[in-house]
A and B are shown apart, each in its own frame.
Chain A
């Protein structure tokens, strides 16, 4: 797995229909190591979603470059959006299969559905699922394409705390089964510390990189909330500029 270099020199939204234009991102350089779990933390409205859309190729209008020396061509990107974005007129299983290339092997999907506790629900339509279940389906879809880079945009907001904790554990479990690079956006510092190898802090818009911190708590100790809390305390007291953001 090779590193991915993201270099956004400028992303500006032009003025349109009476709204004024604004610079969303300026001089932002991020390097993601292969197989690394990186959390991007920043105030809401700071351009995190914009950044993910640029990386996913949804918005080609920016100055800069996104490079990966992936052997065999293009980056395969899984994108888990803030809301699940499932097709309501297709079943759970169809939603996942549609994201995969034709003629794929179904057993990997079976396994993922099993791990996420969705095997019983694969014939259901998304509107009949709870939000937590829909999120898990979206997670399966993102994992199923076996991405080299997984983008996650605050995927666990508005889940109740126990459900969010459970889905986070599932995420780490599946990620460890097949390590790949993850870029996870959140504004919840505890969540970021629980998940990440490295934290990147973004400024208020125009977004630039303010600070970066390696999370050195061993993975097995992260279930312990006091460890996470202690790390957070040290971080906030050591870097007062961060607490201003959150």
Chain B
């Protein structure tokens, strides 16, 4: 266990040292030292500013994540199971996958106004095609033999969904969730920057206008830490749980 921890600790320390040396050598407001950044971080946490804006962003992130995942899974399963529908909507998916994120965001604000609903809709619209494609892949790979077995033993709809369809789809969903978090949290900052009066994106925009690099880095550190915790404490254990039956 100790040796498993040693390497990441050493590597992070090396990163901090490198940063410190560079900042001292450059001696420019464009790259503050780690010490300055951490003191800004501490001050922002203490004043309650950072927890507030981080909280707002995380709330938006969870709502849009849940919406994108559940809608995307539903559509993905349907398309994966019905060949005709799949062929019909395949082009739509390709188009939606390739619309640039900024376009969806701007269009959502134009159509629905600078509202919370528009912000969430923009994030969901960006993530949805991704989930659909991943889950559709999983639904296509479902084992027909097992579905027949379930039918022969009269499992019924609910039992079949829960015990025959869901478990093999789970790894695909986890995959979609992991890439999803990474994608959503990048998009959500742009959404906030363009049309919301609070949240991480709004704060970063303010810091940008005041050329406050220490503030930008402090918020980045806080945000990356939270996202890493979600990955390590929620998604990874879920992944392991789903894989426990494998040899």
Contact = CB atoms under 8 A, between A and B. Distances in A.
Interface in A110-133: 125, 127-128
A85 B151 contact: no
Contact of A58 (B151, B159, B247): B151
A127 B32 CA distance: 56
Contacts of A57: 151-152
B145 A81 contact: yes
Contacts of B153: 79, 98-99, 141, 145
Interface string B212-246: 00000000000000000000000000000000111
Given A127-B245, A145-B153, A89 B167 contact: yes
A98 B163 CA distance: 8
Nearest to A85: B149
A85 B151 CA distance: 12
B149 A125 contact: no
Which of A81, A89, A99, A141 has most B Cβ within 10 Å? A89
Interface string A84-97: 01011110000000
B168 interface: yes
A79 B145 contact: no
Interface of A: 53, 56-58, 77, 79, 81, 83, 85, 87-90, 98-99, 125, 127-128, 141, 145
A127 B145 contact: no
A104 to B, nearest CB: 13
A46 to B, nearest CB: 20
Interface string B17-31: 000000000000000
B145 A83 contact: yes
Which range holds the interface residue count of chain B?
A: 10 to 19
Name the 6 nearest CB pairs between A and B, nearest first.
A89-B167, A99-B153, A125-B245, A79-B152, A85-B149, A89-B245
Given A88-B246, A90-B245, A125-B247, 11 more contacts: A57-B151, A58-B148, A58-B151, A81-B149, A85-B145, A85-B148, A89-B167, A98-B153, A99-B153, A125-B245, A145-B153
6 contacts: A56-B152, A81-B148, A85-B146, A87-B163, A98-B153, A145-B153
Interface in B123-155: 145-146, 148-149, 151-153, 155
Contacts of B168: 89
Nearest to A138: B149
A128 B163 contact: no
A127 B148 contact: no
A234 to B, nearest CB: 37
B58 interface: no
A88 B168 CA distance: 9
Nearest to A91: B245
Contacts of A85: 145-146, 148-149
Given A127-B247, A128-B247, A87 B148 contact: no
A141 B146 CA distance: 14
B163 A77 contact: no
Nearest to B167: A89
B159 A98 contact: yes
A145 B149 CA distance: 13
A87 B145 contact: no
Contacts of B152: 56-58, 77, 79
Q: Which of B159, B163, B167, B245 has the most CB of A within 10 A?
A: B245
Contacts of B244: 125
